[in-house]
Amino acid sequence: MTEAKRAALRALLERHGLDALVLSDAANVGWWLDGVRTHVAQLADGGEAIVVVRRDGEELRTSESEAPRLREEAFAHAPHITVLGWWESLMPSFDAEERVGSDRPDAVAAAQPAHGAVADLSADLATLRAPLSDAEQDRLRALGGDAATALTAALERARDDETEHALAGRTTGLLLERAIEPLCLLVASGERLPRFRHPIPTAAPLGERALVVVCGRRDGLVVSLSRIRAFARPAPRQQDAYRALLEVEAALLAGTRAGARLGDVAQAGRDAYGANGLPADEWRRHHQGGPCGYTLRDKLATPADDDVIAAGQAFAWNPTGGGWKVEDTVVARTAASPEVMTADPAWPTVEVGGLERPDVLVV
């Protein structure tokens, strides 16, 4: 963990008048440990370790099963580790007078029903995680580049007569070769792409085009991106629909600046559908994305969101419509367009709104 994170958590204790803070959500534990993986199951919300933060120090609590790996492979400078039997609760015992907060207050309270109320600090911790440090942005940029090159390689090798399962398997292999965990992997054939927003891979042949959607994690951070390959050049009306969708995304990206209200960005994206010739209610058929970083999405953005975008905060917008989808992970800047973190120079692009955006790959 960095001194900045340590100071931020202690300030959180002070602000809420707490004696201890329990981190058990996998995203928060991963953030505190600068990307160290404590969970075993890929999609587990909680890891095999929890962190207890007090004013005078921190403690990592884990099981005898996980302690050897964490000590040997994860920590260059191990914090204090308390090792427990696999059958024991990781939750510590608190004195009755201690004031405790957590990202999962119900779990803490359930372990100690006599202790009393536990403050819910999940929203505070999400706010602390939001602005990525320079080192975290470097990790995200490297992850995004590797994920993008994996998708390029997978789709370049695709054949119109192979199945969605085959393309999903190739993509998974290319991600794992780059040490990227595929948390979500969707594949759509040309026949299924216009009909389903979440196309779980099937035995359907790819046909005229193929969509691959990936959410991948490495070193605690997560990127999301989507790419489309066509096996024949799309008809002019199809190209127009894709360009219209890029204009919707451009409205979302243009608003993604430090200091902007998140709800205003979401509203701009909604308005852009009808303004660019797509059905005005297209936004109802799928969420448009939102802030991310240590999770697939910290929340799904809506016009009601009053959150203020932070410099260095990551976002993944994913507008869909007209049989198309576009998605990348970006990081907000103060006085410039967001930086795209999931770019591969080998993928064809088209300039929209001053940014190079992914075109449809036609090979």
Q: What is the CATH number of the domain that holds 342?
A: 3.90.230.10
The predicted model gives 341-359 an average pLDDT of 97
pLDDT of residue 113: 60
Share of the chain above pLDDT 90, in %: 78
Do 148 and 15 share a structural domain?
A: no
Q: For residues 81 and 252, which has the higher predicted lDDT (pLDDT)?
A: 252
Do 146 and 115 share a structural domain?
A: no
The predicted model gives 340-363 an average pLDDT of 96
Assess whether pLDDT exceeds 70 at residue 90: yes
Residue 145: name the closest of 250, 249, 216, 43 by CA. 216
Q: What is the dihedral of CA 263, 266, 270, 271, to 10 degrees?
A: 70
237-278 pLDDT, tens digit each: 999 999 999 999 999 999 999 999 999 999 999 999 999 999
334 contacts 129 by C-beta, under 8 angstroms:
no
Do 299 and 153 share a structural domain?
A: yes
Residue whose tokens read 């969707």:
186
Do 155 and 41 share a structural domain?
A: no
Do 159 and 29 share a structural domain?
A: no
Structure tokens at 255: 């608003």
Mean pLDDT of the chain: 92
Do 277 and 153 share a structural domain?
A: yes
Highest mean pLDDT among 38-42, 112-116, 120-124: 120-124
24-75 pLDDT, tens digit each: 998 999 999 888 888 777 666 667 889 999 988 888 899 999 888 888 877 6
Q: Which helix (H) or strand (E) holds 181?
A: strand 181-189
The predicted model gives 311-338 an average pLDDT of 95
- Mark which of 129, 163, 192 sits at the end of a domain: 129
pLDDT of residue 95: 83
Task: Give the end-to-end CA distance of the chain in Å, rounded to a whole number.
Answer: 46
Highest mean pLDDT among 31-35, 108-112, 123-127: 123-127
Q: What is the CATH number of the domain that holds 27?
A: 3.40.350.10
pLDDT category of residue 23 using cuts at 50, 70 and 90: very high
Q: For residues 70 and 192, which has the higher predicted lDDT (pLDDT)?
A: 192
Assess whether pLDDT exceeds 70 at residue 223: yes
Q: Phi and psi of 314, rounded to 5°?
A: -90, 145
- Mark which of 129, 162, 191 sits at the end of a domain: 129
Do 159 and 60 share a structural domain?
A: no
163 contacts 202 by C-beta, under 8 angstroms:
yes
Domain count, the chain: 2
pLDDT of residue 72: 80
The predicted model gives 217-242 an average pLDDT of 96
The predicted model gives 288-317 an average pLDDT of 97
Do 226 and 208 share a structural domain?
A: yes
From residue 233, alpha-carbon distances to 167, 193, 352, 361 in Å are 20, 16, 20, 9
pLDDT category of residue 114 using cuts at 50, 70 and 90: low
Residue whose tokens read 């300030």:
11
| Range with lowest mean pLDDT among 196-200, 214-218, 220-224, 324-328 | 196-200
Residue whose tokens read 């040490």:
179
pLDDT of residue 110: 75
Do 124 and 140 share a structural domain?
A: no
3-state secondary structure 19-85: CEEEEEEHHHHHHHCCCCCCCCCCCCCEEEEEEEEECCEEEEEEECCCHHHHHHHHCCCCCCEEEEC
Amino acid, res. 31: W
Assess whether pLDDT exceeds 60 at residue 338: yes
- C-alpha angle 307/311/314, rounded to 5°? 75
Do 164 and 313 share a structural domain?
A: yes
Assess whether pLDDT exceeds 60 at residue 11: yes
pLDDT of residue 270: 97
Do 150 and 87 share a structural domain?
A: no
90 contacts 72 by C-beta, under 8 angstroms:
no
Longest CA span, the chain: 70
Assess whether pLDDT exceeds 70 at residue 76: no
Q: Which residues contact 96 (CB under 8 A, 6 or more apart)?
A: 114, 115, 116
Assess whether pLDDT exceeds 90 at residue 355: yes
Residue 341: name the closest of 183, 140, 174, 151 by CA. 140
226 contacts 210 by C-beta, under 8 angstroms:
no
Residue 42: name the closest of 51, 30, 59, 60 by CA. 30
pLDDT of residue 269: 98
Query: Alpha-carbon distance 35 to 38, whole Å?
Result: 9
Do 138 and 124 share a structural domain?
A: no
* Residue 123 belongs to domain spanning: 3-129
Residue 143: name the closest of 361, 358, 344 by CA. 344
Share of the chain above pLDDT 70, in %: 95
Q: Is the pTM of this model over 0.75?
A: yes
pLDDT of residue 351: 97
Amino acid, res. 66: E
